[in-house]
Amino acid sequence: MSEYINNQTKRQEALKQVIRQLHDGRTVDEVKAQFAELLEDVGATEIAQLEQALISEGLPETEVKRLCDVHVAVFRESLEAEAKPESLPGHPVHTFLAENAAAAKVLDELGAALEALKASPGLATLGQARQALAKMREYEKHYLRKENILFPYLEKHDFRGPSAVMWAIHDDVRADWKALAALLERGPAGGPAALKDEVNRLYLSMSTAVREMFFKEQNILHPAALEKLSLEEWAAVRAQEAEIG
């Protein structure tokens, strides 16, 4: 452990030297040539920590701000190669994306099972439809983690509107799940024709909302969350996931 700490300390001092030389007037190309090996795997968090350390040691904050773009230019190749948080297994956004991909397949399975039920009503097809719906409803945990873990952290950063809208859509999906489950349990009052109509209506309503939520999460919720939440907050989100499942 002490060897690791010593190596990390040496690395940090070497990286500070990179930034100091930039502030002394050396060009980006000159610094990159001298420190090529050191610059291969520097991440965004490490750069931020270096800048803060230099400020703490007396480098004016205005000077750091003035050359911020130059710092990024030196570390650009490393930053571009850095794995995005959402690509790392265990990161909550990675988990959300993986669950969406799995849910999309289950949604297709449910659609196929309902089509089979409509084409040939019977105990076998009814059982398959019920089983597929039960599997789909396991996705409820995804919504619960958003609502009870992620949304409160976003609200601390004044990200409220989209969260409220998404929660309302979750409730609509839950209502469709419940209605479809009841329909498959008791059957429609109007016989096979009514069964087809109700199945079509509920599945279309539910599947459309679920698929559109995939898009909203990937293009609105996740980018906003990745921008606003700190590493410590993401760690806290991750730590609470097991409480819901």
pLDDT at site 5 = 32
Percent of the chain with pLDDT over 90: 34
Q: Is the domain of 74 the same as that of 170?
A: no
Q: Is the domain of 65 the same as that of 107?
A: no
What are 126's two structure tokens? Answer: 């009814």
Of 29, 62, 81, which residue constitutes the final position of a domain?
81
* Burial letters 26-59, b for 16+ CB under 10 A, else e: eebeebbeebeeebeebeeebbeebbeebeeeeb
Nearest CA-CA partner of 202 in 118, 98, 119, 96: 118
Mean pLDDT of the chain: 82
The CATH number that applies at residue 236 is 1.20.120.520
Least confident among 77-91, 146-160, 172-186 = 77-91
- Which SS3 state, helix, strand or coil, does residue 134 take? helix
Alpha carbon distance 124, 170 (integer Å): 30
- How many structural domains compose the chain? 2
> In the structure, how many helices (H) and strands (E) does the chain have?
13, 0
Of 81, 110, 131, which residue constitutes the final position of a domain?
81
Of 64, 81, 98, which residue constitutes the final position of a domain?
81
Which residue carries 């976003």 as its tokens? 154
pLDDT at 202 over 90: yes
Tens digit of each residue's pLDDT (9 = 90 or more) over 23-67:
788 887 777 776 666 666 666 556 666 777 777 888 776 776 666
Tens digit of each residue's pLDDT (9 = 90 or more) over 91-132:
899 999 999 999 999 999 999 999 998 888 888 888 999 999
Using a 10 angstrom Cβ sphere, with 0-12 exposed, 13-18 middle and 19 or more buried, the burial of residue 89 is: exposed
Alpha carbon distance 28, 75 (integer Å): 10
**Residue-number span of the structural domain to which 39 is assigned:** 2-81
pLDDT at site 4 = 32
pLDDT at 152 over 80: yes
Q: Is the domain of 22 the same as that of 101?
A: no
